[in-house]
């Protein structure tokens, strides 16, 4: 099967998923207690302003018509206007997303640098104290609430030791050095959780591969153990880990909500929280919609990577 | 919560097929008891449950009693874990917070189980367009990240512990639904279900008497992992101000207040977080052990 055909087949399956995603996100508005127009008006209680909102969002129309009109606007890239700032939501998202992407990339690098070597080490020393210790550390990374880990790191590295800034963000094009110091702690906080997932999957995949016939053959041919692990086993074990990486990257983009809040990083997650507190529902709906779309696209990317990395699929 | 966990739980399905011949295998409790980590984790979870139940007897002070003469005092003989920004005893609030956090772990899972078992059974056994519809909605819900769903729902429903628990339950639902449906579907092709069908059992009887009891093991594994995820989610929502409302204590809301006094009163943020970490770690160890014990391919 060609890559294009494979991608096309996967993409077709996504259409109904995205349709239901849009229905779910539109339905959020129906959950607002009481009159949606009043809720959307926020602190504005002037009846004419409320009436204007009711007319603008067609709240006096049947729900299906409202959905159709909303979807029409979304497909044209119009996610509405922030009630608080009066800036189009699409514009707001475009300005915040790069910050979160930078944080997610840095977190992923940390996760890969810790997770994969730890998984390989753990699998190659299966059943030993090293394996148990690596497992315990991975499980700790999965169990620690990230926002608390963030608070503890601020306490240690910013308040006590004064090595790193406690919060804030400097764009890389303004000052790369300060940019790196501001995203280091949040990236470590987010990266540790993903490192735990990566480690466990790398270990599982390595253990499976190390039990296969071709690895036994390589060992029987006296191939040095280092080569067996790094060349024969790891290359195949990494296939499922690569796809997991793409999925985890999608999770990082949305998982940064609390981390961004704690470290006052003006990204996508903080935009969601601010939207929630300002009762800025267009912003909340916009962020949820874009994060779902990104998540779906990254899942598609994971499938494509799996296809590219797996010769058996290409031959099918 | 991840689909990866769901797949891990689903991996336990083949173990169920052997359920009919399970007579010679040691019981689940015995298999768990052979794992020291699982025993310690179970004891930790039991201790947290006991503390939550006996909060009134164990807490040295009322969790709401303020004392403006003892604002932000470090740990001492009178206040073992110190006091908070209005002089409330941190230990008393940590003890009472266990109740909110454990409830917030269990109730969303109960909601997810109560909805996913009948829907998953229906979807897996009935098949057809109904299965297609339920699964497409599930896929759509899975496409929106867990915490984002919980935050958005909690925001639209309004901030309260009850709404946070409902939001977390709904956010956890798709993983459970997919697992329940997948398990039901796998079980319908098993020999013992075929035999029941050949004997003339009705579809409802097959679903309830033969498929349902065997669906429970993977759902049990998923539940133990989801209780852990739900505790973190409640703490996250309460930390953001979307869960437990002040002055009622929960570990997440305590951390919210503590963040403002990080340099003056670090004890306010250390202990609630340690509690979340300990109980979540214990539940994850227990979930791993359950999976290993129920699935012969693991461990």
Question: Could you tell me which residue, B297 or A302, shows the higher pLDDT?
Answer: A302
Q: Which residues contact A173 (CB under 8 A, 6 or more apart)?
A: none
Query: Cβ separation of B152 and A144 shorter than 8 Å?
Result: no
Mean pLDDT, chain A, integer: 86
Contact B224, B72 (CB under 8 A): no
Q: Minimum mean pLDDT among A129-133, B270-274, B290-294: which range?
A: B290-294
Is the link from the previous residue into B247 a cis peptide, with omega within 30 of 0? yes
Task: Write out the two tokens for A58.
Answer: 């067609």
pLDDT at B107: 96
Q: Which of A19-33, A105-119, A212-226 has the highest mean pLDDT?
A: A105-119
A201 close contact with B: CB closer than 8 A: yes
A295 close contact with B: CB closer than 8 A: yes
CA distance A215 to B77: 61
CA distance B251 to B234: 9
pLDDT at A189 over 70: yes
What is the pTM (predicted TM-score) of this model? Answer: 0.86
Name the residue among B1, B235, B143 with its Cα closest to residue A288: B143
The residue of chain B with its CA nearest to that of A140 is: B281
The residue of chain A with its CA nearest to that of B262 is: A155
Name the residue among A266, A64, A103, A272 with its Cα closest to residue A184: A103
Q: Minimum mean pLDDT among A82-91, B13-22, B214-223: which range?
A: B13-22
- % of chain B beyond a pLDDT of 90: 51
pLDDT at A102 over 80: yes
Cβ-Cβ contacts under 8 Å, B255 against chain A: 147-148, 151
The dihedral region occupied by A164, where left means phi > 0, alpha psi between -120 and 50, and beta the remainder, is beta
Name the residue among A243, A9, A183 with its Cα closest to residue B4: A243
pLDDT at B158: 84
pLDDT at A281: 80
Cα A182–chain centre separation: 20
Residue to test with chain A: of B152, B252, B269, most A Cβ within 10 A: B152
Label residue B24 by pLDDT band (50, 70, 90).
low
End-to-end CA distance of chain A: 6
The H or E element spanning position B247 is none
Q: Hey, which residues 32-91 in chain A have their CB within 8 Å of chain B? A: 32-33
CA distance A281 to B231: 26
A302 close contact with B: CB closer than 8 A: no
Contact A258, B240 (CB under 8 A): yes
Q: Which of A18, A291, A299 sits opposite B148 (nearest CB)?
A: A291
Tell me what the mean pLDDT of segment B197-204 comes to. Answer: 85
- Give the residues across from A235 on adjacent strands: none
CB atoms within 10 A of CB A273: 20
Contact B86, B72 (CB under 8 A): no
pLDDT at B119: 93
Label residue A316 by pLDDT band (50, 70, 90).
low
pLDDT at B16 over 60: no
Cβ-Cβ contacts under 8 Å, A285 against chain B: 152
A309 close contact with B: CB closer than 8 A: no
Chain A nearest-CA distance from B155, in A, is: 6
Cβ-Cβ contacts under 8 Å, B258 against chain A: 151
Question: Could you tell me which residue, B1 or A70, shows the higher pLDDT?
Answer: A70
Cβ-Cβ contacts under 8 Å, B273 against chain A: 145, 148, 151-152
Tell me what the mean pLDDT of segment A273-282 comes to. Answer: 82
The H or E element spanning position B92 is helix B90-126
CA distance B229 to B116: 17
pLDDT at A44: 65
Tell me what the mean pLDDT of segment A163-167 comes to. Answer: 91
- % of chain B beyond a pLDDT of 70: 90
Contact A272, A287 (CB under 8 A): yes
Alpha helices in B127-211 (DSSP H): 128-143, 146-157, 161-188, 191-198, 203-205
**Contacts A–B by Cβ distance under 8 A:** 139
Q: Which of A31, A142, A292 sits opposite B144 (nearest CB)?
A: A292
Digit-coded pLDDT (tens) for B77-118: 999 999 999 999 999 999 999 999 999 999 999 999 999 999
Tell me what the mean pLDDT of segment A26-30 comes to. Answer: 80
CA distance B283 to B226: 9
Task: Write out the two tokens for A72.
Answer: 């029409």
Query: Cβ separation of A147 and B145 shorter than 8 Å?
Result: no
pLDDT at B299 over 50: no
The residue of chain B with its CA nearest to that of A22 is: B140
Query: Cβ separation of B158 and A143 shorter than 8 Å?
Result: no
CA distance B234 to B250: 9
pLDDT at A274: 87
Query: Cβ separation of A291 and B145 shorter than 8 Å?
Result: yes
Q: What are phi and psi of B21, to 5 degrees?
A: -105, 25
Tell me what the mean pLDDT of segment A224-236 comes to. Answer: 84
Digit-coded pLDDT (tens) for B159-181: 899 999 999 999 999 999 999 99
pLDDT at A100: 92
Q: What is the 3-class SS of chain A, one letter each residue? A: CCHHHHHHHHHHHHHHHHHHHHHHHHHHHHCCCCCHHHHHHCCCCCHHHHHHHHHHCCCCCCHHHHHHHHHHHHHCCCCCECCCCCCEHHHHHHHHHHHHHHHHHHHHHHHHHHHHHHHHHHHHCCCCHHHHHHHHHHHHHHHCCHHHHHHHHHHHHHHHCCCCCCCCCCCCCCCHHHHHHHHHHHHHHHHHHHHHHHHHHHHHHHHHHHCCHHHHHHHHCCCCHHHHHHHHHHHHHHHHHHHHHHHHHHHHHHHHHHHHHHCCCCCHHHHHHHHHHCCCHHHHHHHHHHHHHHHHHHHHHHHHHHHHHCHHHHHC
Residue to test with chain A: of B133, B135, B143, B170, most A Cβ within 10 A: B143
pLDDT at B5 over 80: no
pLDDT at B215: 86
Label residue B25 by pLDDT band (50, 70, 90).
low
From the number of C-beta atoms within 10 Å of its C-beta (0-12, 13-18, 19+), residue B297 rates as exposed
CA distance B194 to A101: 51
pLDDT at B56 over 90: yes
pLDDT at B8 over 70: no
Contact A201, A244 (CB under 8 A): yes
pLDDT at B1: 47
- Token look-up 């020291």 returns B36
Query: Cβ separation of B156 and A31 shorter than 8 Å?
Result: yes
Cβ-Cβ contacts under 8 Å, B2 against chain A: 197, 251
Q: Minimum mean pLDDT among A47-51, A223-227, B18-22: which range?
A: B18-22
Contact A265, A186 (CB under 8 A): yes
The residue of chain B with its CA nearest to that of A36 is: B156
Q: Which of A31, A145, A250 sits opposite B277 (nearest CB)?
A: A145
Query: Cβ separation of B4 and A251 shorter than 8 Å?
Result: no
pLDDT at A130 over 50: yes
A155 close contact with B: CB closer than 8 A: yes
Tell me what the mean pLDDT of segment A209-217 comes to. Answer: 87
CA distance B69 to B75: 15
Tell me what the mean pLDDT of segment A148-158 comes to. Answer: 94
CA distance B210 to B208: 6
pLDDT at B226: 92
Query: Cβ separation of A257 and B151 shorter than 8 Å?
Result: yes
pLDDT at B7 over 50: no
Tell me what the mean pLDDT of segment A217-223 comes to. Answer: 87
A255 close contact with B: CB closer than 8 A: yes
Tell me what the mean pLDDT of segment B218-226 comes to. Answer: 87
pLDDT at A194 over 60: yes
pLDDT at B22 over 50: no
Measured on CA atoms in the order B139, B144, B150, B156, is the torsion positive or negative?
A: negative
Mean pLDDT, chain B, integer: 86
Name the residue among B251, B266, B260 with its Cα closest to residue B63: B251
Q: Which residues contact A134 (CB under 8 A, 6 or more apart)?
A: A118, A119, A121, A122, A199, A203
Cβ-Cβ contacts under 8 Å, B136 against chain A: 16-17, 20
pLDDT at A101: 92
pLDDT at A183: 93
Q: Which of A261, A273, A295 sits opposite B143 (nearest CB)?
A: A295
Query: Cβ separation of B139 and A17 shorter than 8 Å?
Result: yes
Q: Which of B139, B153, B266 sits opposite A155 (nearest CB)?
A: B266
Q: Minimum mean pLDDT among A171-175, B2-6, B135-139: which range?
A: B2-6
Label residue B19 by pLDDT band (50, 70, 90).
very low
């Amino acid at each position: 099967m060609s890559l294009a055909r494979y991608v096309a087949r996967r993409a077709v399956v996504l259409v109904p998923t995205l349709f239901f995603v849009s229905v779910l996100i539109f339905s959020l508005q129906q959950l607002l207690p009481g009159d949606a127009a009043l809720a959307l008006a926020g602190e504005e209680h002037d009846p004419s302003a409320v009436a204007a909102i009711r007319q603008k969002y067609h709240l006096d129309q049947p729900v299906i018509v409202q959905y159709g009109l909303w979807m029409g606007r979304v497909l044209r890239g119009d996610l509405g206007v922030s009630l608080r700032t009066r800036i189009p939501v699409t514009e707001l998202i475009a300005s915040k997303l790069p910050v979160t992407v930078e944080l997610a990339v840095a977190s992923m690098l940390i996760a890969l640098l810790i997770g994969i070597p730890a998984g390989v080490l753990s699998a190659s020393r299966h059943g030993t104290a090293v394996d148990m210790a690596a497992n315990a550390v991975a499980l700790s990374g999965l169990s620690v609430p990230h926002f608390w880990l963030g608070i503890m790191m601020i306490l240690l590295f910013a308040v006590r030791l004064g090595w790193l800034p406690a919060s804030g963000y400097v764009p890389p094009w303004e000052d790369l050095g300060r940019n790196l110091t501001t995203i280091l702690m949040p990236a470590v906080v987010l990266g540790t959780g993903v490192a735990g997932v990566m480690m466990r999957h790398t270990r599982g995949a390595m253990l499976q591969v190390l039990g296969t016939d071709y690895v036994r053959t390589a060992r029987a041919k006296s191939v040095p153990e280092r080569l067996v692990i790094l060349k024969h086993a790891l290359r195949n074990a990494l296939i499922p880990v690569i796809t997991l990486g793409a999925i985890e990257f999608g999770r990082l983009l949305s998982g940064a909500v609390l981390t961004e809040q704690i470290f006052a990083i003006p990204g996508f997650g903080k935009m969601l929280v601010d939207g929630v507190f300002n009762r800025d529902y267009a912003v909340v709906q916009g962020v949820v919609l874009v994060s779902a779309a990104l998540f779906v696209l990254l899942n598609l990317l994971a499938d494509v990577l799996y296809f590219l990395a797996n010769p058996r699929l290409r031959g099918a | 919560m991840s689909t990866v966990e769901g797949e891990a739980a689903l991996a336990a399905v083949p173990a169920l097929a052997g359920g009919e011949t399970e007579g010679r295998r040691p019981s689940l409790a015995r298999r768990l008891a052979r794992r020291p980590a699982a025993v310690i984790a179970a004891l930790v979870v039991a201790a947290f449950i006991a503390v939550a139940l006996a909060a009134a007897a164990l807490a040295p002070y009322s969790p709401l009693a303020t004392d403006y003469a003892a604002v932000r005092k470090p740990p001492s003989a009178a206040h073992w874990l110190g006091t908070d920004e209005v002089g409330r005893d941190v230990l008393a609030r940590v003890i009472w917070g266990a109740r909110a956090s454990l409830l917030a772990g269990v109730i969303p899972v109960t909601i997810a189980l109560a909805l996913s078992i009948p829907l998953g059974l229906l979807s897996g056994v009935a098949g057809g367009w109904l299965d297609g519809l339920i699964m497409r909605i599930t896929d759509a819900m899975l496409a929106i990240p867990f915490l984002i769903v919980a935050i958005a729902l909690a925001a639209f429903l309004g901030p309260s512990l009850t709404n946070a628990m409902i939001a977390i339950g709904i956010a956890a639902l798709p993983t459970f639904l997919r697992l329940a449906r997948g398990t039901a579907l796998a079980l319908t092709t098993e020999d013992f279900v075929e035999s029941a069908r050949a004997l003339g059992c009705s579809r409802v009887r097959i679903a309830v008497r033969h498929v349902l009891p065997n669906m429970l093991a993977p759902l049990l594994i998923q539940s133990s992992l989801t209780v852990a995820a739900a505790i973190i989610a409640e703490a996250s929502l309460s930390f953001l101000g979307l869960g437990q409302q002040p002055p009622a204590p929960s570990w997440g809301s305590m951390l919210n207040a503590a963040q403002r006094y990080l340099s003056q009163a670090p004890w306010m943020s250390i202990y609630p977080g340690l509690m979340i970490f300990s109980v979540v770690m214990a539940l994850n160890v227990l979930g791993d052990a359950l999976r290993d014990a129920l699935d012969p391919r693991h461990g």
